[in-house]
Structures are given as C-alpha cells and as structure tokens.
Structure 1
Amino acid sequence: MSSAPVAALVVLLTLAAVLVTSGVAKVRDRRATRDAFDALRVPAVVPADALAPALPGCEIALGVLLLVAPGGWLVPVAAATVALMLAYTWVVARALGFDEPVTCSCFGSLGRHAVDRLTLVRNVLLCLLAATALWLALDGGSAPSAVRDVDPGGWWALLATAAAAAVAVLVTGGGASTPVADEDLLDYERQATPYGALTLHNGTTASLAELTATQARLLVVLNPGCGPCVRVAERLDDWAAALHPAVGVVAVHPDESSARAQSLHSPQLAAWEPELNIRRVFSVGTPSAVLLGADGFLAGGPVAGETSVTAFVAEVLDAVAEQPSPAE
C-alpha cells in the first residue's frame, strides 16, 4: 500500500464517509431503521429489535476505525466491513425479487427510497471497496501509514478528489423536489386523472374514472410488512369518517391476499391493484397518497412517505372543512 498511499486513502475515506453518514442518519431516524427490517423482510432468525438500535453505532465505529486503526488492527475492521456490505447487498438483491416495490432506509432519513437495480449496483461497488480495504490491510497498510507516505502532489490529488466528490453530491442530491402536499390545494395544477384500475372489497373492478364518477377519492397506497404503512393504515378509519361524504378513502393494497388479510382498517376501504398499476402510473412508493377529484382531474398529490401523507391528509381535511354544507 505504501506505493499508492493516495489510492489507499481514497478507498478508506470513501468507506468511512459512507459508514459514518449512514450511521448518523440512522441515529436521527431510528424508527425508519427498524421499519427497514420489516420492509426488506429480513429473516426472522435475525434479532431485528436488538440489531436495529445497535446498527448505527456499529456503522459509525467501523467508519472511525477504518481511519485510525494501525497496521494489523485494520484487518478485522476491514473484514467486518466486508461482511456488513455483503449482508446489505444480499438483502437488497433478495428484495428485488419481491412481487411489490420495497422502500428501505439504508441511509436513515437520507436514503428512504425504492429498492431498485441502482441500489444493488451501489452496494456491489461498496462491497468491492470493502474488499479492497481488506486487501490493503492484509498487505500491512493502514490510513495512518498512508498519511505518512503521501507527498505534496498526493495531497493535491486528494483535494481534487474531495472537490469532485462534493460537486457530485451537490449535483445529484441538492435538487430534492418539494411534495405537492406543501402547496395550497387551491393552487394545485390540475391534471387529468390517468387510467388505472382497482378491484374493490366486493370483488368488482372499477377504473379510476368510474371510481370518481360521483365522489372524490383519496387513494392511500400501502404495502404489507411496511412499518410506516402500518401506522398510516391504523389512521384510515378516522380519516374516512372525517372526510365523509365529500371524499371517499380507498386503501390500495398490492394484491388480494394482502387486502383480505389486513386488520388495521375497515374491510370496506380495502382494494387491490391489478399488476401494481396504481403505484406504477403515479410512480410512487409506500406509503403514498393521491387525491382524485370527482371532475376527472387530480386534486392533490401524489405524495410519498408517512410524514408527507399525514400532512397531505391534514390539508385535505382542512379544505373539506372549509366547504359549505349542502344546507347553506
């Protein structure tokens, strides 16, 4: 490693930055970390209730030790990092085979997103970096020894690498979109309701246009085994009662078995979507919500995430409360 101290430092610094960032984000959103175990269907042999709270501290400790461990001490640290990255990659690869999309919190509140092939590619790359760190450690290297071996030109190379990484983060992560739920519903830019179909609790199938022919509908998209979905589902009956009769609430499940098996809300609210067409046409994860107007246009959303859905429904409730009653 002494012949390439800059490369060694780039590898170790990158891994450390990823681990520490992930750990800190998980500390800030511990509930999302626990929810990820359910969403990713981590096998029951893994003690999720004990591991989820400990995972952030382990990640932070590994990140710090990658930078400070001397000589041979880096070997077990790098080996543990390889094992962790391989475990993450296996869980993600397994989730890609599920029938419905999965939302995880791999980076706590910073990384709550749908698991897809890009997620798998990212994890594979992290596995390769971890394996490189282990090879460097077995070769007798470490971050402290690499720092001693870096010449002035190497420090400029490290500075350029850091600047390039910062620019990449700003370009790819600095443009987060603002959910529609943060806007006044009266200012919402109306779009025609797209085609979609649902099978209702009584077994009949209806298009979104048919569903909204006589009443506005609030579609709430859910997944089984999703912690935020469970908490949203527990509130659906209250929301339905408060919105009636202006808006009807529909709980959209991925398939009939999950819709029939749910026990968190009234069976009359349950529906399922053939071939996941609703979440595909609106490009949403779970939980998510969209308000369909009775005039054939979208009236709000879609929004995704437990906090955004809750805030969105609160805005819909306020808007409904402001409408005059038929007697007025």
Structure 2
Amino acid sequence: MPTDALALAPVVLAVVLVVSAVGKLRAPTASAEAFRDLRVPSVLSGSLVVQALPWVELLLAVALVVSGGSLGVVVAAATLLLFTSYLVLVVRALGFDEDVECACFGEFAPGRITRRTVVRNAWLVVVAVGALVGAAGGSSVVARIADGRLPWWWLGGAVAAAVTTWLVAGATSASGVEAARVPTVDEEGDYVRQRTPALPVTLGDGSTSTLRALSAERPQLLLYVSETCGSCLPVIEAAPVWREQLPQLDVRLVLRFGPESSTLGSTQEPLSVHDTEGLVYETFDLRTPSALLLGADGLLAGGPITGSTAVPEFVDDIRAELEAALGA
C-alpha cells in the first residue's frame, strides 16, 4: 500500500504538466525556437512533434490521476521518461557556448537555462519516480479518494502547494524576464530614448571601437546572433538582404566571440562587431537572436527586440518608417 506522499506525486506532476501544456499552447513560436536552440535531434523536433507535445502533456496529466493498474504504471513510466528527457536537454544545454532560452513552460516561465533549471527538472524526475512507485500499488488517485484511502483534503493541499509554488516562483520569473526585454516606455507608451552607452567592442578586422563611436556618423542596426543558435539562422541569412533594403543604416552582426573564433566574423564593411567581454550582452540583457537600433544622434532608437519572428518584424517596421520619412 503506497503512502499518501507517493499517492500525491501524480497530482503534483499533473498540475505541472497542465501548466506546461497551456504555456506551450499560448506561445507556440517560443516552443519551436526552444527546440532548435536546445538542439533536439531532428527526428524529435519536427513541427508535428512540437505541436503535439502540449497535448501529450495534457493527456498524461489526466491519465496520471485517473489511471490505475498496469495502465497507471505505463502512464507513470511515460511521465518519468518525459521529465528525464527534459532534464537531459537542460543539462546538455549548459555546455553550449551561448546561453539558451528555456521554454519548458511556454510563456509562463521563460528564461535562460541555469543550474537552477537543472535542479528544478531533477526534482521533477524525483517526483516522477515517486509517482511510478506509487502506481505499482494498483489504484488510481481517483479510486483512492473514492474509497477513502486518500482524504480529499490531501488532494486539495497538493494542488494548492503546486499552484502556489508556480505563482511565487514561475510567474515572478516570467514577468521579470519580460520586463528586462521590454524597451523603456513612458506613461503614454512611447519609446524613451536613452543615450547609447560607450561600450567597448572589437570589430571584424581586429580594431576596437565603442557602440557610441560606431553610431556617430550612421545609424547602426545590430543583430546579436550566434552561429550555433538554430533560431538565429533566419536572421543571419536575412542580414545581407536587409543591408540592401536599408542603405541608410549599417547592418552589423554582433557576436559573442572574437573575430578569430567566429565563422561569421567579417572584415568587409560593415565590419562585424564582437562583444568579447560580454558587456553588450550584459548591459542590454540580450538573447539570441536580438536586434538593437542605435541612432546617429547618440541615442538608442529602438529595441532590444528578441526572437526569430520579432526581429524581422522589427526590421520591417524600421524600413516602413524610413520609407515614410523619404516620402514625406
């Protein structure tokens, strides 16, 4: 006969899976980008898999609570396999050259993968093991409540604990990341232009400059990318086209490593920009891919904007404004 603690493990996991599924359904683009950035094997990262994953999570959530007997063991084992896979992916991502966004819970808990992410996923694996051991008892959670072996208030307590933990930790984390990415605006919703910081950078030919100096004569559209970032590929491939479409700007790739260590480094004008000290990355809290527009008047003109979909939209807005200005 399983203990109450083991019987509640599937309830906690069910809440986690529901939150995860709803978050993915509300932010499908972020989930697809996370699959690319985590370098999930192609056989497991197709569009059908990405679209089906949240529905699988919802199905597992329901099955964890209502399934008993052999089926309950199979469901618990599948859940353990899923959370173990998530753990392997985040541990592996910590070894990548660039930071990776985690969309494990879709829009509810975005953010960079850190050791804390690993601890969280490892704990979920432990809970999943408890659910599997509990499933060996033969009865579902619903059956245990119905026959009085699991008091209903235990179930309510488990759900309350899981939801409260998410509200305190997950929702706060998500809002904090969102706030860090949203450009500064005033009370009327207008972009507040700030002075371009004089952050030192290395250029593609090995010379040095600062962001403020680069934008002293011409506006600069900086594209923060990485050659190992799957979500960056559309931005990297579009950069030459944007240079032709935006002759009023210098469109430059910004890279984390020096010219000698980057396959995207360029010695042709406009030279690539290399943030070897990570100062641009830290100052603007950038992710890959991101875009930042520096005005020739020494002030920030737009951004930072993050995402393989948001960056092209940002460039389209810039092009539309320039065309409107020329037409006027």
The bucket for the TM-score relative to the shorter chain is: 0.7 to 0.9
1:219 CA drift (Å): 1.0
Counterpart-to-counterpart distance in 2, 1:36 and 1:258: 25
1:165 CA drift (Å): 5.0
Cα pair 2:24 2:54 within 8 Å, conserved: yes
Counterpart-to-counterpart distance in 2, 1:257 and 1:145: 64
Cα pair 2:39 2:230 within 8 Å, conserved: no
Counterpart-to-counterpart distance in 1, 2:246 and 2:75: 55
The question of 1:315 aligning with 2:317 is answered yes
2:229 to 212, 226, 229: 226
Counterpart-to-counterpart distance in 1, 2:56 and 2:152: 34
1:226 CA drift (Å): 3.1
Cα pair 1:251 1:270 within 8 Å, conserved: yes
> Against the structure 1 CA distance between its residues 123 and 299, is the aligned structure 2 distance closer, same or farther, given a 3 Å change threshold?
same
Tell me which residue corresponds to 1:37: 35
> Against the structure 1 CA distance between its residues 318 and 142, is the aligned structure 2 distance closer, same or farther, given a 3 Å change threshold?
same
Counterpart-to-counterpart distance in 2, 1:130 and 1:207: 51
2:211 to 203, 208, 212: 208
The question of 1:252 aligning with 2:254 is answered yes
Cα pair 1:182 1:312 within 8 Å, conserved: no
Tell me which residue corresponds to 2:286: 284
AA aligned to 1:103 is: E
Name the % identity: 35
1:52 CA drift (Å): 4.0
The question of 1:179 aligning with 2:182 is answered yes
Tell me which residue corresponds to 1:198: 201
The question of 1:74 aligning with 2:45 is answered no
Tell me which residue corresponds to 2:243: 240
> Against the structure 1 CA distance between its residues 276 and 127, is the aligned structure 2 distance closer, same or farther, given a 3 Å change threshold?
same
Cα pair 2:33 2:230 within 8 Å, conserved: yes
59-68 or 143-152, which deviates more? 143-152
Structure 2 gaps, min length 5? none
Counterpart-to-counterpart distance in 2, 1:183 and 1:231: 32
Counterpart-to-counterpart distance in 2, 1:238 and 1:181: 29
Cα pair 1:136 1:142 within 8 Å, conserved: no
> Against the structure 1 CA distance between its residues 167 and 71, is the aligned structure 2 distance closer, same or farther, given a 3 Å change threshold?
same
> Against the structure 1 CA distance between its residues 136 and 267, is the aligned structure 2 distance closer, same or farther, given a 3 Å change threshold?
farther
Deviations 1:224-252 (A, max 9, x none): 3434322223332333333322x221111
Counterpart-to-counterpart distance in 1, 2:140 and 2:278: 49
* Map 1:85-96 → 2, pairs under 5 A: 85-96=83-94
Cα pair 1:201 1:267 within 8 Å, conserved: no
AA aligned to 1:80 is: A
Work out the number of aligned pairs and report it.
320
> Against the structure 1 CA distance between its residues 121 and 244, is the aligned structure 2 distance closer, same or farther, given a 3 Å change threshold?
same
Tell me which residue corresponds to 2:45: 48
Cα pair 1:103 1:112 within 8 Å, conserved: yes
Tell me which residue corresponds to 1:217: 220
Helix, strand or coil at the partner of 2:193 = coil
Structure 1 gaps, min length 5? none
> Against the structure 1 CA distance between its residues 203 and 157, is the aligned structure 2 distance closer, same or farther, given a 3 Å change threshold?
closer
